[in-house]
Amino acid sequence: MDSRPHVLSLIPLPAMTREALAQRYQLHLAARGLSDPVDALVPLDRIVAVVTNGTTGLSAEWIQQMPALRVVSAFGVGYENVDVPAAHARGVIVTNAPGTNDETVADHALGFMLALSRGYAVLTHAVRNGQWDSARAAQPTLCGATVGIIGMGRIGQGIARRCAAFGMRVLYNTRTSRSDLPYAHESDLLKMAEQCDYLVAACPGGAATRHIINAEVLRALGSQGFVVNVARGSVVHTADLVHALQADVIAGAGLDVFEGEPTIPDALKAMDNVLLTPHMAGRSPAAHRAQTDVLLASFADALQGRRPAMVIAA
């Protein structure tokens, strides 16, 4: 009889993570989250640990259906849809893995900026279709441009360092300024957008940041400005963004996250000044190894009565 503890994953996991968990635990996969057809296949009364992320989360209702649950771990940084107060009320530890994929996300954001400014996607299509001469118009460069970063946590700082290395002026928008950083703070998002060539979202999701990039902010960014979102889909008002792109209110967008993902508006798919990636900015082999290490340590500590390193406060 297999006496190993039961672990449930509510998200797709890298092969290395699945294998590592399966070696230590009885692993149950519900990679699209919990739903009625899946519930019968998962021994909810025996689950001691859950793997999730900020998008999928774990509700109070499901926490109550897992009487043996002791730890919930977000595979990455975000945990906005995990009901942390409900977990703590049950004595369940909630952890995440900050710092494990910051550099990967920052690379992705800068890649969006380069590809949008230099027109890589459009130019590749043009060259493939024999439009060599007509595609050689001058394209903007990052050097000398201004970037405004919403959020200045680990990822925001990584983006800022990269932008500064490219000779960009760096602004950032947070509730309070950081005296330890060499970048210009702007508490008013509209005022920052007015100064930007690139507006990059690198902030947490949740109610406080829902739709903060909206029609008014996009108008302030202007017709030469680009939006990049490597934060959460909820940060951008999708309908406002679509309208701004269709009406040439802004120049383009690079989006890794979407409201209602994986469903994406057809209008965004049809625009050649929009780059789309499938919520994978934080995915790299190095990031997956680091996230797996933190996840395994969190589970081992919590299930053996120790306090994990990355506990989320109530």
Q: Give the catalytic positions in this structure.
A: 232, 261, 279
Q: What span, in angstroms and rounded, lies between the C-alpha atoms of 313 and 302?
A: 15
> 93-95 and 226-229: which strand pairing?
unpaired
